Amino acid sequence: MARAVNPSTRRYRSQLRAEQAQDTRRRILEAATRLFVANGYAGTTVSAVAAEAGVVPETIYGTLGGKRGLLEGVIDTTIVAYRGPLLDAEHEPSGRRAKIDRLATAQERLRAWAEFACEVLAHTSPIHALIRGAADSEPFAVELLERLLCERLADITESMRRYAAGSLRAGLSVEQAGERACALMSPEMHHLLTVGLGWTPEQHREWLCQLIVAELLGPP
């Protein structure tokens, strides 16, 4: 007769398998991010990612479903993950948004928000460039770009409402302010200035912070 497995042992083994699966997924997505950024979407293969991550290609197909799943996973661990600190809940007093809320003036709040947005752009702009490259040949990547733009505009408009409503330039609605900020803070603009023109992160941050305040709030 087979010996019964202790329930605590079963839970331990199940937890261990889950942790191993998470670690494998993390290694795959880290490898995919490196290769996608270095070689582009078209220049990266599932086999190359598997070799970089130390797994067999079948593991990637079983875990993420292939090359498209790799790109979507990279987006989730970069662009989507970085939205959290910008959108942290009001009940989290140590969150970035809560700290910005406590600043006294709209100028201070907008500048602090723009500074953090620059940090996010520095990490996510290469991924946006990757998606734009994939969109040249992959219809699903075009849909991803459209979805991310809609999400970014909604997030930025909500930030305008939260940080600057009542202090905007005369005649400028919250929605219009959101559209202008979305254009100024776009990954495309960040890529043009920092990659195309060679601006430093400090130059980009100072330019954006000054322009956001001047464009949306006007003279003090």
Q: Report whether pLDDT(209) > 70.
A: yes
In a shared domain, residues 80 and 121: yes
CA–CA distance, 52 with 55 (Å, rounded to integer): 8
**pLDDT value of residue 8:** 62
Share of the chain above pLDDT 70, in %: 86
Query: pLDDT of 151-205, one tens digit each?
Result: 999 999 999 999 998 899 999 999 999 999 999 999 999 999 999 999 999 999 9
Same domain, yes or no, for 186 and 207?
yes
Claim to verify: residue 61 and residue 134 sit in the same structural domain: no
On whether residue 200 sits in a domain, the answer given is yes
pLDDT given for residue 11 in this prediction:
65
Q: Is the pLDDT of residue 3 over 90?
A: no
- Distance CA(166)–CA(168), nearest Å, equals 6
Looking at the fold, whether 48 and 152 belong to one and the same domain comes out as no
191 and 165 in a single domain? The answer is yes
DSSP code, position 164 = T
Q: Which of 177, 70, 60, 59 is nearest to 114 (CA)?
A: 177
Q: In terms of domains, do 127 and 201 share one?
A: yes
| CA 19 – CA 107 distance, rounded (Å) | 45
Q: Are residues 32 and 81 in the same domain?
A: no
Q: Which residue range forms the structural domain that includes residue 36?
A: 16-65
Dihedral (CA of 189, 119, 128, 157) sign: negative
Q: Enter the tokens of residue 66.
A: 């292939």
Q: Decide if 44 is inside a domain.
A: yes
Tokens of 97: 């948004």
Q: Do residues 59 and 165 share a domain?
A: no
How confident is the model at residue 91, as a pLDDT?
Answer: 43
Q: Is residue 43 part of a domain?
A: yes
Burial level of 20, CB count in 10 A (0-12/13-18/19+)?
Answer: exposed
Residue with tokens 């006007």: 218
Mean pLDDT of the chain: 88
Pair 188, 87 in one domain = yes
User: Does a structural domain hold residue 188?
Assistant: yes
**152 lies in the same domain as 173:** yes
172/181 Cα distance (integer angstroms): 12
